[in-house]
Amino acid sequence: MKIYLKKFVSGQVTLISALACFAFSPTAQAVDPPVITVQPIDKTETEGETANYMVTASGTEPLSYQWRKNGLDIVGAISSSYTTRKVTLADDGSVFSVVVSNIAGSVTSVDATLTVPPNEIYGYAPDGTPLHWDVYTPSGTGPWPVVLLIHGGGFTGGSSTSNQESVACARDMSAAGYLALSIAYRLAPPGRIDGQTSTGCAPQQYDDIKMAARAARADPRCTGKLGVIGGSSGGTHAAWLAVDHLATETPPWSGEDRPDGAVCLSGPYNFTDYRPNHNLDGFVSNVTSYCCVPDTTDPTEEDRAILDANSPVSRVDVMARPMLLVNSQHDFTPIEQQEDMLAALDAAFGNQPNYEGITLSGNDHAWALWPVTISGTETVKDRALAFFAAIFFGSPWITTQPADTTVAVGRTAKFRVAATGSAPLSYQWRKNGLNITGATRRSYTTPPTTAADNGSLFSVVVSNGIGSVTSNNATLTVH
């Protein structure tokens, strides 16, 4: 549109020009209000650490942010993330939220809760390092069985709250009636915890964890029953506690101090297995850092001896405590590590296993395995709880699951199970979920099969006076 201005001069009208042009869009530009696409999440941090909250939002720029604590604005907290000061027990239960605004409006996030569990010193390392554990107390009145949780971090990093999945595990154990103690220990170079002046190399971390096990069993809140769960390098330490029964003076340690059982998630167990793997370099870097030897797959004879001496597989014998070992097919820890540990246990125990190995599909690692489904609706968490119920209270626990079987038409198929628990144990085999009459032994042999049996599922319920457990399904293939 052109606008013409007229000027009157001495009674005349003079057209002076088109002074301006205005272009009008047929529609006004859209303005989108803010929408939060990723909400801040709950955090658990040890006293003295910081908590970091983040939000992701969309909408017409610019977006502005204002974080709040317990409903009150936090001065200067005006970016898409907020890091607290060092937290104290007084911060436990605080809720954090953020208001995201632009010219079209504002939106408030969900509340994210900060949990600061009680933190206690369980001992002092020889260099004077104070060693702490976070305490997750179950409801009711103690004493309770204790479960130690051992964090990962490649032997050089991590903490009791650096992985929120391990925090979830601690809460799950507490909710199940166990006193959960999530421990700190010295770290290998370049890692270091507050007060640490020693290297943290092997066997110093083992010594710290032995001290925690001994302290936990002696704690008046403990019934005297002790289990451990470890993820990644923490899985290594959990396995070491289960297999090491040599007496030491520093720390005071004997076979009687060991846990009653260990759950090991993605642990490295054999520090000199260099078979090709997608993450061989990362594995070698981690275990050589812990042993303070050069990072190489071709160690000297002296360095190899150090690596072997600190590998849990080197301590396996018939005195090993019950173990539940879990990894995934494409785990960050090479899958051969669990194979090595199971082979060592098989050689020690033969046909009387007190351990179970589970390899899941996917690439979940360590604590990320905790909620993963094993079979049906059973998760790793469920299997671990059944494991601890068995070793603490005598409930049945299946150590060897029935295996899939393939036979020709007209041949019989045999299914077997191995289980532990307080005697006597009873067995009831099922076909496609229905009890099989008379199938009440550790093994079950089918009648001669027909084509109609192809794809049938066989399972077994193992029971005693304390409880029962149902095996995985084993598939029968008939060809």
pLDDT tens sequence across 273-328: 999 999 999 999 999 999 999 999 999 999 999 999 999 999 999 999 999 999 99
Which residues make beta-bridge pairs with 102? 105
CATH 3.90.1200.10 fits 119-393, yes or no: no
| Overall average pLDDT of the 123-138 stretch | 96
Mean pLDDT of the chain: 92
Contact by Cβ (8 Å): 432, 452? no
**What is the pLDDT at residue 39?**
97
Q: From CA 193, how far away is CA 286, in angstroms rounded?
A: 18
First to last CA, the chain: 84
Residue 2: pLDDT over 90? no
- List the CATH code of the domain at 1-116: 2.60.40.10
pLDDT digits (tens, 9 = 90+) for 437-453: 999 999 999 999 999 99
**Whether domain 398-478 has CATH 2.60.40.10:** yes
Confidence of residue 6 (pLDDT cuts 50, 70, 90): very low
Distance of CA 354 to the CA centre of its chain: 23
The pLDDT confidence band at residue 28, using thresholds 50, 70 and 90, is: low
Q: How much is the pLDDT for 22?
A: 38
Helix axes 380-393, 164-175, angle to 10 degrees: 40
Q: Where are the alpha helices (DSSP H) in 354-399?
A: 380-393
Task: Name the E strands within 298-439.
Answer: 323-328, 355-360, 373-375, 378-379, 397-400, 405-407, 414-416, 418-420, 426-431, 434-435
- Check if 1-116 and 398-478 are the same fold: yes
The sheet carrying 179-183 orders its strands as 119-124, 130-136, 179-183, 144-150, 222-231, 261-265, 323-328, 355-360
Report helix, strand or coil for 79.
coil
pLDDT digits (tens, 9 = 90+) for 44-56: 998 888 999 999 9
Q: Per-domain residue ranges for the chain?
A: 1-116, 119-393, 398-478
Please give the average per-residue pLDDT across 239-249, as a whole number. 91
Note the pLDDT of residue 147: 98
Amino acid at 323: M
Distance from C-alpha of 221 to C-alpha of 478, rounded to nearest angstrom: 55
User: What would the pLDDT profile of 206-234 be if each residue is shown by its tens digit?
Assistant: 999 999 999 999 999 999 999 999 999 99
For residue 23 the two structure tokens come to: 């272009």
pLDDT at position 382: 94
Residue, of 423 and 427, whose pLDDT is higher: 427
Q: What is the pLDDT of residue 11?
A: 44
Backbone CA torsion sign across 327, 358, 146, 171: positive
- Cβ partners under 8 Å of residue 429, min gap 6: 415, 435, 436, 439, 440, 444, 458, 459, 460
Residue 399 is predicted with a pLDDT of 87
Find the mean pLDDT for residues 358-363: 96
164-182 pLDDT, tens digit per residue, is 899 999 999 999 999 999 9
Checking if the pLDDT of 17 tops 60, the result is no
Question: Distance between CA atoms of 254 and 243, rounded to whole angstroms?
Answer: 11
Segment 151-167, tens digit of pLDDT: 999 999 999 998 889 99
3-state secondary structure 235-292: HHHHHHHHHCCCCECCCCECHHHCCCEEEEECCCCCCCCCCCCCCHHHHHHHHHHHHC
Cα 45 to the chain's mean position, in Å? 16
% of the chain beyond a pLDDT of 70:
94
pLDDT score at 397: 87
